[in-house]
Amino acid sequence: MSTTTLRVKNAPGFRVDASKLLPAALAALSTDDIARLRLLAGNETCEAGDLFDITRSDGDALKLVIEGETRWLDRIGAYMTEGRIAVQGAGGDYAGLGMSGGELHINGDASRFAGCEMRGGRLTIAGNAGDFAAGALPGDMEGMTGGTLTIHGHAGARLADRMRRGLVIVGGDAGDFAASRIVAGTVCVAGRVGAHYAYGMRRGTLLLAREPDHLPPTFVAGGHGFQVFWSLLVRSLASEIAPFSTLDAHVLPHRHAGDLAVDGRGELLIAQS
């Protein structure tokens, strides 16, 4: 097992695809081989050694550390299956795209499509996330289908669009169309939600930690007999971020069902303080 560290030399004036920079793949290479890796940059390629200083140290786990400003680095952790990536700064677009295992931690903001079509593993964003987090690629029918995405800051528009499975937690606000067209899974938002949240929701759960400014007209209040589900949900959130880690299993939330415009059987839960 080893830890590979990539330290940014100078930020390039173009975007770079980081999908080859995975912990398991890099662990099998020498630092010289890593430096010669050719990374896509639009219609061109560049060598990893032109962008990063590369070091290697022994450890107990497969780990990749990326140090420096990397808003230009897209697809960090894309399709990762094992290991851990720690980004000591902001990341670019498509962070955690299609990942099915391992852990990706971004100690800053992430741009658009973070956790897009994620299938497993854990993606944690210490800052804000752009639009389409946990959503689907343009033209695809399924967004996130597994794993856990935690955004400590705010999320942009179309959060968890077309989500089918998994857990999304937002510690701040979410933009317009949050949890739109979801088929299954759980989305938790601690702050405000924008317009048209839960639009086209068929199944799944949207949990709000605060009373929204308005309720969707295609949702109806009511529903009983979900105490067991609520207690299980509270238990699963106990190790996550506040305020969801402090929910009381004995205090049932207000429940609304919908989206009735699509004969939806989803639920909107509003936690009581």
pLDDT tens for the chain, residues 1 to 273 = 789 999 999 889 899 999 999 999 999 999 999 999 999 998 999 999 999 999 998 877 799 999 999 999 999 999 999 999 999 999 999 999 999 999 999 999 999 999 999 999 999 999 999 999 999 999 999 999 999 999 999 999 999 999 999 999 999 999 999 999 999 999 999 999 999 999 999 999 999 999 999 999 999 998 777 899 999 999 999 999 999 999 999 999 999 999 999 988 999 999 987
- The pLDDT score that the predictor gives to residue 127 is 98
Phi, psi of 56 (to 5 degrees): -135, 140
What domain count does the chain have? 2
- The pLDDT score that the predictor gives to residue 23 is 96
Residue 67: inside a domain:
no
- The pLDDT score that the predictor gives to residue 223 is 75
What is the domain range of residue 6? 1-60
Q: Are residues 164 and 258 in the same domain?
A: yes
CATH code of the domain in which 154 resides: 2.160.20.60
Q: Are residues 27 and 86 in the same domain?
A: no
* 191-226 residues labelled b (16+ CB within 10 A) or e (exposed): ebbbeebbbbbbebbbbbbeeeeebbebbeeeeeee
Q: Are residues 85 and 12 in the same domain?
A: no
Residue 65: inside a domain:
no
- The pLDDT score that the predictor gives to residue 49 is 95
Predicted model pTM: 0.95
Q: Are residues 141 and 266 in the same domain?
A: yes
Cβ(199)–Cβ(214) under 8 Å? Answer: no
